[in-house]
Chains A and B, each alone.
Chain A
């Protein structure tokens, strides 16, 4: 007998192209790398792998935290692999990527939270694929601004850190994290990079109320976030937090309109939207629709990046 309610029709999609999916998997595996696509059981992996894209997950496959929504393994991780940054760059080049998203497990065991590995990975990608855009999706580094600065010195085109859910649900959903600390991370990055290049994502369907979503979006705007993604929470196994509700695509469209009205420069909202899903398209739009902003329309040169990543204090 079925133990789960049937998924609504809008969460149905075709199987991906098997040949291309296998090619991406072989490339990732040949370089000894992990993707958050597979580790987090992303529902888009067939689609993304089929289009030849993936989001690299650095610093191992074991997270020092154990969030209730996430299937990435947790436990005591191994030390960082010094060859990993170059391996990510080689895999991205091999896959022919023009936009590379790099994320990681949370590494509260490391003094810098793995920030240096992010910076090195960005530099290696720049060396291997000079024309590629690079986006990072980082953990909160326990709020350490020096770690955020280290990542920013690497020169990402987009700096992402996900708020994930509303403040009330942090306890129980995002153990070990702190809502205000997440806003501080985003605020710090925004002061250095500019609003148009700072991104965050929010899952709906965890039990949040409408006014809480609204308040979270307002907090993100106040923190200087310019790019926001909203998607449906889907649990990766029966051991994870149940879905509280399936949000209709029409409601996602409403949230997209609302977020744009609040002043976000780039918004993506929909049942299958994840923080790195089709991120290259958002970045391309940002480049063409934000002339004159301090945003992603033009990648800063190395010196400019150095300057822009200097800590700013309000």
Chain B
């Protein structure tokens, strides 16, 4: 089943982030909590690693590097195993 990965930066106060880079490529497998991508926000003063909410195979990257994203944004899709 294909599941959307939505950006939910719990515990942060920022409403705008920039995608720095993905830590895995489409076709690669990831576990729950595995590192998916890194985002940045000036207001957070740090880069944050976004964990995977699902176990499965990353099939699509929607939020590409350098893109600006907001909470609730679609990051990509995972084929859940």
In the complex, besides A7-B46, A16-B10, A49-B11, 16 extra interface pairs with C-beta distance below 8 angstroms are A2-B18, A4-B42, A6-B40, A11-B46, A12-B49, A13-B46, A13-B48, A13-B49, A17-B11, A18-B8, A22-B10, A42-B45, A43-B46, A45-B11, A50-B11, A238-B42
Q: Which residues on the B side are within 8 Å of A272 (C-beta)?
A: 46
Query: For the complex, what is the distance from the CA of A4 to the CA of B44, rounded to whole Å?
Result: 13
**Min CB gap A6→B, angstroms:** 6
- Is A46's beta carbon under 8 Å from chain B? yes
Query: For the complex, what is the distance from the CA of A18 to the CA of B11, rounded to whole Å?
Result: 6
Q: B residues near A, CB below 8 A?
A: 8-13, 18, 20, 38, 40, 42-51, 66
Residue of A at shortest CB range from B47? A12
Query: For the complex, what is the distance from the CA of A11 to the CA of B46, rounded to whole Å?
Result: 6
Q: Which residues on the A side are within 8 Å of B9 (C-beta)?
A: 15
Q: Which of B12, B47, B51, B66 meets A7, CB within 8 Å? A: B47
Q: Which of B18, B44, B49 meets A41, CB within 8 Å? A: B44
**Min CB gap A45→B, angstroms:** 7
Q: Which residues on the A side are within 8 Å of B38 (C-beta)?
A: 12
State whether B45 touches A234 (Cβ < 8 A).
Answer: yes
Count how many chain A residues have C-beta atoms less than 8 Å from C-beta atoms of the other chain: 29
State whether B42 touches A235 (Cβ < 8 A).
Answer: yes
Q: Which residues on the B side are within 8 Å of A6 (C-beta)?
A: 20, 40, 47
Count contacts between A and B, CB distance < 8 Å.
Answer: 71
- Is A1's beta carbon under 8 Å from chain B? yes
Residue of A at shortest CB range from B48? A15
- Is A94's beta carbon under 8 Å from chain B? no
State whether A12 touches B10 (Cβ < 8 A).
Answer: no
Query: For the complex, what is the distance from the CA of A14 to the CA of B11, rounded to whole Å?
Result: 11
Q: Which residues on the B side are within 8 Å of A145 (C-beta)?
A: none
- Is A237's beta carbon under 8 Å from chain B? yes
State whether B11 touches A21 (Cβ < 8 A).
Answer: yes
State whether B11 touches A41 (Cβ < 8 A).
Answer: no
Q: Which residues on the B side are within 8 Å of A4 (C-beta)?
A: 18, 40, 42
**Min CB gap A99→B, angstroms:** 21
Q: Which residues on the B side are within 8 Å of A300 (C-beta)?
A: none
Q: Which residues on the B side are within 8 Å of A41 (C-beta)?
A: 13, 43-45
State whether A14 touches B45 (Cβ < 8 A).
Answer: no
Q: Which residues on the B side are within 8 Å of A16 (C-beta)?
A: 10-11
In the A-B complex, the 5 residue pairs with the closest CB atoms: A18-B10, A234-B45, A21-B11, A43-B45, A43-B46
Chain A contacts with B in 11-47, Cβ cutoff 8 A: 11-18, 21-22, 38, 41-43, 45-46
State whether B44 touches A21 (Cβ < 8 A).
Answer: no
Q: Which residues on the A side are within 8 Å of B12 (C-beta)?
A: 15, 46
State whether A235 touches B49 (Cβ < 8 A).
Answer: no
- Is A236's beta carbon under 8 Å from chain B? yes
Given A21-B10, A46-B12, A49-B11, check contact A2 B42 (CB 8 Å). no
Q: List 17 A-B contacts (CB under 8 A).
A: A4-B40, A7-B40, A11-B47, A13-B47, A13-B48, A15-B49, A15-B50, A15-B51, A16-B10, A18-B8, A41-B44, A43-B44, A50-B11, A235-B42, A236-B45, A237-B42, A272-B46
**Min CB gap B36→A, angstroms:** 11
Q: Which residues on the B side are within 8 Å of A18 (C-beta)?
A: 8, 10-11
Given A2-B66, A21-B10, check contact A12 B43 (CB 8 Å). no
